[in-house]
Structure 1
């Protein structure tokens, strides 16, 4: 086994101060990052690490991408916040660009991914009452087992992960859970009160769980036939990560509502959005929903630059090509310290053989070799590097995983 990492005194002091003064809602790896560039970060001791997590896809374009930094710096010197009490000169430009990228009419800007999900739920219920004609206060939303949509009290109420759910009730009613990947179960659960189906096209926190081909097409067909909204949570899977602009594009499917976040802020600041056509988002009236920071000019300027970068298709093509390259190498580990590999573009879930350790232990050993990944659900490590990473850097990271597994 790789020897435990010995921490420098300055690193230990910083970690100790954080442990004393920051609520323990995370269990970080023992590294203190001070700088980042591209796919690499540097800690306070000057040691470099290859970042294979990319802040859970928030850093799809890498640390400090010059085009995104330039957009942020230019806007910082002009105007950062007005609230939506007034118009600003950046929001309309951003909304138009994002709507076009999504093939939709209207954008409702928010900040975090969880806010986008909460907004999507409110929109679905309002649409259910005001358009579909569901009896007041009876609207339901169908969700999938194994989901992760955020950690607000509403959202964890329909999670089946005890770590996310336990001890935070009572929970909001109105959600029906069916197995992920089972379109027939969705259809069986639909009744006169169903307003929407909310799913991740690929489940990220669950370990990059990819449904069988045809599932998304079936969900689209079922929801259309039953007059139910299809809401796709593309907060982690969208914006180039899987080799397409959206994970739904892998099956040529367009949902009624996109929920976006993470990479939309370019790794600079939180930006999220609900994107749909006017017949859906038009149900929200002035004063019914909002956010002081949602749609702020700084976020809008950054978001516009992100959309411009995605519009060329360069990052989607990189993710597809590099994902094929990575998959060819990772599958060789199956039966040699790895029990399964699931990959879509540059997004992989790697299940570690318990004989080699837990996912956390493997992540800590990789940290000692200069590679950053993060575990989930015990035995899985996730690989989601910035899309600017090079094939040679992926090869080096895979070699480090090979060495860790052979210890």
Structure 2
């Protein structure tokens, strides 16, 4: 084939592509005479031959595209060429887009109410082959029994050959050398000194650390340690079953609270800023006597206000309480900051007040200075009050 013939074929193919694009986008149009071989006289006639113009009139005139083999037919109503619909065309369309029946089935499935997931799973199990089902492992309820602590999780240390006069505080200080000791639910260190039925020490004890890593350190450092002439024997604790297991005796502990306590123990604390609240309270003693307060009821108010005013020079005071029936003549002053309480102790300790030397210190958080009034004291106070009103 020459170059001119190839160019003519390419131009003809381009014209056919433009014609197909026009049919798709703008609807059917009359093909050009250059592309379509000829139009018969019947094609050019108007469809006003006693027939309704709305009905399609098909003729036997058709042509085959030499490039792709598509057969086109002339439609007098639409005044254009359309592909001839045959079985091959329907089969190709069905393979590409699916049949109308399949789309109708999809619509019916979509209109159906949704079925429960459990029912679907049950149907799938019934339809599936039992030999191919995956077996589900069921956890059997084992009877409660004692268990052995794994070595990787053992935080307990057993200490033997302790002196007979060992106290719990001494044992705590000894075991703290190797790690942080865990705490019980009441906040106390988790240690135990074994005793006889008479209450005497057996010479052995148990300590539970917060971390597993503390156990080998205790064995390395404290094993063979000399304590008041006794060489200690330290090893990881091994538990043995005694009696039958009783699940009701096992304490139920909250895992979340236990974790919070453990995090609090290992948290870094500044010994100066992270101080207990009771160290914000200053106890001032030797300010008055109970007889002076009983003789002059207004003296209690005066003493409290004077002490509060003097303490406010060190910082902001939250409140001041006078224990009028305490034999040591006590006034407690609470500050907002620990540093202000420390300043107050330094400033007012061993100063004189009303001819007396004051004793100033931080509150220990335990001692209660507010005493209850007895019936005799109440009777005596009321009599003195009546005498005061008569004056």
TM-score, shorter chain, exceeding 0.5: no
TM bracket (short chain): under 0.3
Q: Larger relative CO (CA 8 A, sep 6+): 1 or 2?
A: 1
Larger Rg: 2
